[in-house]
Amino acid sequence: MDIILASGSPRRRELLAIAQQNFRVMSVDVDETPYDAEPPKDYIERMIATKANSAIEQLNTDLESDKTELSTLSIPPNKPFIILTADTIGVLPDGRTVLIKPTDRNHAYSMWQQMSDNTHQIWTAVQATLVMLTPTNNTNMFKTLWQQQIIERTEVTFVPLTSDMMAGYWNSGEPADKAGGYAIQGLAAAWVTRINGSYTNVVGLPLAQTLALINEANEVPIN
C-alpha cells in the first residue's frame, strides 16, 4: 500500500528509507504550541491527529483547485493509501513538563539545564491513517477509512552539562529544530551516558513499532 509521510523531518525520511519503505513526502504546517497545562500524552496525540487532518484537508483543497500535486502523488480513485504522521517530544521526570523544539537560545538552555545529570524521556507518537479517494455525488474527496495511534517512550540519561558545552552546542546550529534541543545521532551523542528503549525513537521515529503499525494498516479490510 502506498504511504505518504506527512512530515518535513529529514530524519524520519531517512529512517523509513532504511526500512526500505516506498513512500512520498508531504509537508504540513500546523501550530505546535502546547495548550496551557496540557499533559504530554494529550499534546502529542493531538499533534499527530492534527497533522493527519491537515494533510487530508490539503489534499482535498488541491483536488478542488486541480493542482498538479495529486498527479505527482499518483493517487488513483478507490485505492487506499496510508498517511503517516509523527511527533517527538521530551518529557522531564515529573511526567508533566514537555520539551519541544527550542524557540531561542534561552529556551534551549532552560531545557538542557533540567536534563543535565538527569534522566528524561523521549516520546514519539505515530499515527497511521488509511485514506481513499472516493467518488461522492459526482465529486471526488479523500476520506478516512481507519486510523490508529501508538506512543513509544525511551529513557535518556545526560552527563552533567557545563555552560561551555551548552554554548558550543547551540552555536553549532544543530539544536534548532530538534525536540528537547538535541540530536542523539549528532553532536549531542557525547552528552548521552545511556538510553533505555528504542534508539530510533529518540532520533524521531520508532522504526520497528512504526513498521508494525504500517503492517496493521495494510491488513485492514476494505469494503
Tell me the catalytic residues: 87
Phi, psi of 40 (to 5 degrees): -55, -40
98 forms beta bridges with: 91
86-111-84 Cα angle (round to 5): 0
Check if the beta carbon of residue 15 is closer than 8 Å to that of residue 206. Answer: no
Instruction: For 27-161, list the strands marked E by DSSP.
Output: 81-91, 98-99, 119-136, 139-158
Residues 123/89, Cβ–Cβ less than 8 Å: yes
Q: Kindly state the cell numbers that stand for 80.
A: 487506499
213 in Cβ contact with 94 (< 8 Å): no
